[in-house]
Amino acid sequence: MTNCFIMWEYINGGVLTHHLLADPSMPGLSNWWGLLSIPVVTFILLSWRDRNRDRETSLMNGAQFFLAIAYGVIMCILWRTGNDAYMPYLLVLPILISIWKPVHSISAFLGLLFGLMYAFGGILPIMLGIVLTAASFIVHHTLGRGMRMLTTK
């Protein structure tokens, strides 16, 4: 899939380079890195998931995977159509959901990675996925645990 996106960019004007914080004075990350980073991260996460398969249900993983793809595609659409002013609100959504439901699974990370790959290449979705997964994990196990303790007593 990464190869298709890279070929499409190459044929239609060249492979894009994304600058950190969308500032051209910051260092740029070429989408060529996606040819290496996406398969490596996918292999690592899927092999880790296979070792820990008994802890997760497959139906929940499938739902999180497809919801994360939809989430990533919505972010891509907002970015490509120039409505990126709404993206900060959308970025907070998984963290808010993690108060009640765990959204820090491998399936959700991979879904987000695949959903964001079209608009943001291979490196930025991995960085965003790491940040959102870590924040969701922390919120779910601290604030979420406290909220669940208050509502069950």
Summarize pLDDT for 110-141 with one digit per residue, the tens: 999 999 988 888 888 999 999 999 999 999 99
> At a CB cut-off of 8 Å and minimum separation 6, what does 63 contact?
none
pLDDT at 52: 66
Mean of per-residue pLDDT scores for the chain: 86
pLDDT digits (tens, 9 = 90+) for 10-35: 898 888 787 877 788 988 888 888 88
Domain boundaries, the chain: 2-152
Long-range contacts of 83-92 (CB under 8 A, 24+ apart): 91/132
Cα 105–Cα 54–Cα 52 angle in degrees, nearest 5: 55
pTM: 0.82
pLDDT digits (tens, 9 = 90+) for 84-106: 899 899 999 999 999 888 888 88
